[in-house]
Every structure is written in structure tokens, then in C-alpha cells.
Structure 1
Amino acid sequence: MSKAIEEIEQELGVLFRRGRALSHELAEGVHPGLEPGHYAFLVRLEEAGASRPSELAAYFHIGKATAGRQLTCLETLGLVARRPDPEDGRAHLLELTPEGLARVDAARARRRDTFHDRLSTWQERDLAALARLLARFNAEFG
């Protein structure tokens, strides 16, 4: 293995650990005691719109029971609401409540501010290069 690949692997390990810590902070910012997995559900609902619990479980590659417990918690906190699925009267859809959307938006704004603060001294060409290389990396592993 090349030395550069070893360095990339090590730096990605640091990045992933910091990413997990940031996810925890973002979740806590939405609601005290909220776990990163719950935050991920909120973000997915914000991105995809109303979704069936089974769709969310499939998206995250988790069991329906696990997804159900997490979604019930979010519903209890008033961040997610359940409504009948117009295409299937036996099923229901989950969507963010206005409060849930406001809290996700606020958490994302804090995250953007953090990135801006940490990267504000970088030159634009370096930021563009990082963005391009990260997109390429993500496409390789997508």
C-alpha cells in the first residue's frame, strides 16, 4: 500500500471521529438527549419529505422495529408527525412538524457557521479543490 493511501486512511479516521462528535452535538442542539441516529432521521425527512417508516428503515439499513422506536421517540418529542398514506389507507407517513423543521434548520445553520468559521482563512482555490476531491471520493464509495 502506498504511503499516501495510508495517510489518507489515517486522516479519514480522524475525520470520521470528528464527524461522529459533530453529529452528537447537532442532535443535542435539536433536543437535549437526542442521539445522532435520531438526528439522521430528521435530516432524511427534511430531504425526502413524508416517508413510510419502512422506507426510512431501508434507507438506513436497519430493522423496522429499530426505526419504529427511533421514530416514536421523535413523534413523542413533537418533532415528527404521523398522517395516513393517501395511497394506502392501512399505512402511514411520517413528516417533520414545523417545530422539527425549525430545529433541524437551526442545527444546520450552526453547522454551516462552524464550517465557515473554521475554513474562512482558506483560499478559495483550496476550498474548491477540497470540495472537488471530496465529491470524487464520495462518488467512489457511493
Structure 2
Amino acid sequence: MEAPPDAVVDALLTSARALVGMAIQTVAEGPMPVTVAQHRVLLLLDESGGLSVTDVATRLGVDQSNASRHCTRLDELGLVDRREAPADRRSVELRLSPAGRRQVRAVREARRRWARAVLTRLDSDEIGPLVASLATFAAAADSVHPDSPAPLL
């Protein structure tokens, strides 16, 4: 395959900047004040159901002490519950608390509102091709590093 023209790469990077900006800004829309890194932990727990701090560190690509600090802060905020792990009673499993689920839901809804606001600025005949292009792009992006989990924002 030929390398894409610079204009396509530039358009992609400009769109990515807008999406990352939205992801960062909307973290503040939750009921509790969390950082982007802490929100990533909440998303990971929401997606997985429950993990150890070691698993959180591995999946986010950070060291264990960093993950532990984030998890401790989320526990202090009441957004995660620490429980004895079913498979190993010496280990602790982290799960979203009801407040943590509300936090994730609030940020997700803020992101959906943002997306709707952007999409209302497009002509209706632009939506179908955009959806198809985004789906194609997402599949191609997933195939670049198929064994790596998608980054969570």
C-alpha cells in the first residue's frame, strides 16, 4: 500500500487532537474530581469487572507503585471497592463501586453530548460516509498492534 498523502495524515492528526481534547476535558464532567489517569483505571475496571493492582499496572503499562497510588486515591474517593480476591485470599481485587459506575456513566454521557454537538454541525449526507470511514479506521488501527489492549481514555 502506498503511503497516505500528507493532507490525510494532517487531517487525521487534527481530528485526533480534537478527540483527545474532548476525552481530557470530559473527565471533569463526573461527580468526583479525578485525573485522566485515574479515569483510565475506572474504565479498565468497568471493562474487566475486577482486577488486582498488578493487573491494572500491566494493562495500563505503568509500574505497580503508580497504579497502586491511583487505586488508593480512587478507593479514598469511594469509586472503587477493594475485596479479597476469590482465587487468592492473599490478593486484593478492585471493582467499581456504585459511585464509580456513576462516574464512568457521567463521563460517557458527557462525551456522547460532545459528539452529538459536533455531529449536528455536519450535513446529513456527510454522516453515513463518516461512520463508514471511522469504522474502517478503527479496524485498521486495531490491526496495527492486535495483541495490545486499546488505550483507555
User: For this structure pair, what is the TM-score category when the shorter chain's length is used for normalisation?
Assistant: 0.7 to 0.9
Distance 1:130 1:114 in 2: 19
> Is residue 26–residue 36 contact of structure 1 (8 Å, CA) maintained in 2?
no
SS at match of 2:34: coil
Deviates more, 1:74-83 or 1:107-116: 107-116
Give structure 1 regions of 4+ aligned residues with deviation exceeding 4 angstroms.
none
Residues 79-138 of structure 1, C-alpha deviation per residue, up to 9 Å, x if partnerless?
A: 111000011011000011101101211210121122122113343421332232222331
Distance 1:135 1:2 in 2: 18
**Aligned pair in 2 of structure 1 residues 14, 127: CA closer, same or farther (>3 Å)?**
closer
User: Could you say what the CA RMSD is over the residues aligned between the two structures, in angstroms?
Assistant: 2.0
Distance 2:25 2:91 in 1: 33
Question: Post-superposition shift, 1:139?
Answer: 2.3
SS at match of 1:88: coil
User: Are 2:129 and 1:126 equivalent residues in the alignment?
Assistant: yes
Question: Which residue of structure 2 lines up, in the alignment, with residue 13 of structure 1?
Answer: 13
- Equivalenced residue count is 141
Question: Which residue of structure 1 lines up, in the alignment, with residue 141 of structure 2?
Answer: 138
Question: Post-superposition shift, 1:21?
Answer: 2.1
> Is residue 23–residue 111 contact of structure 2 (8 Å, CA) maintained in 1?
no
Distance 1:116 1:58 in 2: 34
Question: Post-superposition shift, 1:2?
Answer: 5.0
TM-score after normalising by structure 2: 0.80
> Is residue 27–residue 39 contact of structure 2 (8 Å, CA) maintained in 1?
yes
- The runs of 5 or more residues in structure 2 that have no matched partner are 146-153
**Aligned pair in 2 of structure 1 residues 74, 68: CA closer, same or farther (>3 Å)?**
same
Q: Determine which structure has the larger helix proportion and give its number.
A: 1
**Aligned pair in 2 of structure 1 residues 32, 101: CA closer, same or farther (>3 Å)?**
closer
Q: Percent identity?
A: 23
Distance 2:63 2:70 in 1: 11
> Is residue 41–residue 56 contact of structure 2 (8 Å, CA) maintained in 1?
yes
By relative contact order (CA 8 Å, sep 6+), the higher-ranking structure is 2
Q: Determine which structure has the larger strand proportion and give its number.
A: 1
TM-score after normalising by structure 1: 0.86
Deviates more, 1:121-130 or 1:104-113: 121-130
Question: Which residue of structure 2 lines up, in the alignment, with residue 87 of structure 1?
Answer: 87
SS at match of 2:83: strand
SS at match of 2:91: strand
Question: Which residue of structure 2 lines up, in the alignment, with residue 116 of structure 1?
Answer: 116
